[in-house]
Amino acid sequence: MNWFTVLKMPNPYGGRWNDLTGGEYYRMDDNDKRNYHSSMHQMYERQIKRAVEPRKAGQAPPATDEQIRGLRELTRFHSRQYQRMRHPSINKENYYSLEEEKNRQMSKPQYDAVERMPHTTKEMYDNYTRERKIQYWNRLAQKLKSEYGIGNTDVVRLAARMVKRMIDNPNYNPPFEGDDANMIEYRDKHKYKDISGYDDFTDEEKRNYHTRMKERALRVNKTDEMNYHSRMKHRITNNSSLPTYPTPEAEKEAEQ
């Protein structure tokens, strides 16, 4: 059976597939639903072809860019539903119409109205909304993972790291080139308060800061630094009248 016979084949209710109603769709079995989505996918593909070919030949287009984009979206919708039913491992519910679909994973389409979508440039990226930036890094992470294997290269790990940091931190926006800061550098810059405002920290914030610095010094066996932050934390915890400082250098400067 080719696409033409599927398109012309009546649906179980006696009409053409493109006249099928939502109620009729949800009463059909999976085989008929597959035929419906296959039929509609091919129908919209033909409409796109008729809309695009005159433009490529230098003739007046029979459809606007927005109309063509709408047709492409419908084509992708029916293709997604068909693939879901063809591959049960996808484990996603099927829908009659695009408006009903709630479980779609957004991805960048290959084509805009007529031409292939351009590769993202820095200028384009800088003008993206934060949501589109997350989508960009997620697409890149998936693409690189499929090409190189997860965790096999620095660039694969970088893209995946940008996605996680943007999801975890609503205030984080990496540059187009990515951010190769390690975890400590990233947290100091984007998660924790800058110690230049140490005097305005609450006691809890100061205590957390000194605990963090003490643990870092311990990991690299910097005994003097570890003892310093332990001493500052002890003063805060015990409500000491002695002042506290963010670093040994700051303490020495204050004593001069």
Domain ranges of the chain: 3-100, 122-183, 192-255
* Length in residues, the chain: 256
Q: What is the mean pLDDT of the chain?
A: 83
**pLDDT tens digit sequence for 20-54:** 999 999 999 999 999 999 999 999 989 988 888 88
Q: What is the mean predicted confidence (pLDDT) over 59-75?
A: 82
**Any bridge partners for residue 111, and if so which?**
116
Judge whether residue 110 has pLDDT over 70: no
Greatest mean pLDDT among 35-39, 70-74, 115-119, 147-151: 35-39
Q: Of 44-48, 116-120, 241-245, where does mean pLDDT reach its minimum? A: 116-120
Residues 6+ apart with CB under 8 A from 128: 136
- Cα–Cα nearest to 168, from 188, 153, 148, 190: 190
Question: No. of H helices and E strands in the chain?
Answer: 11, 0
Greatest mean pLDDT among 20-34, 70-84, 92-106: 20-34
**pLDDT tens digit sequence for 147-163:** 556 555 677 788 888 99
Task: Give the pLDDT confidence score for residue 116 in this predicted structure.
Answer: 54
Q: Is 247 buried (19+), middle (13-18) or exposed (0-12) by CB count in 10 A?
A: middle
Q: What is the rounded distance in angstroms from the CA atom of residue 77 to the CA atom of residue 123? A: 30
Using pLDDT thresholds of 50, 70 and 90, give the confidence band for residue 62.
confident
| Overall pTM > 0.85 | no
Q: What is the mean predicted confidence (pLDDT) over 169-186?
A: 88
Angle between helix axes 248-255 and 223-237 (nearest 10 degrees) is 70
Using pLDDT thresholds of 50, 70 and 90, give the confidence band for residue 6.
very low
The pair of structure tokens assigned to 34 is 């597959």
Extract long-range pairs of 226-234: CB within 8 Å, 24+ residues apart.
232/206, 233/207
State the DSSP string of 102-152.
--------SBSSSSBPPPPPHHHHHTS-HHHHHHHHHHHHHHHHHHH-TTS
Q: What is the number of other CB atoms lying within 10 angstroms of the CB of residue 138?
A: 20
Judge whether residue 105 has pLDDT over 70: no
The pair of structure tokens assigned to 126 is 């800088």
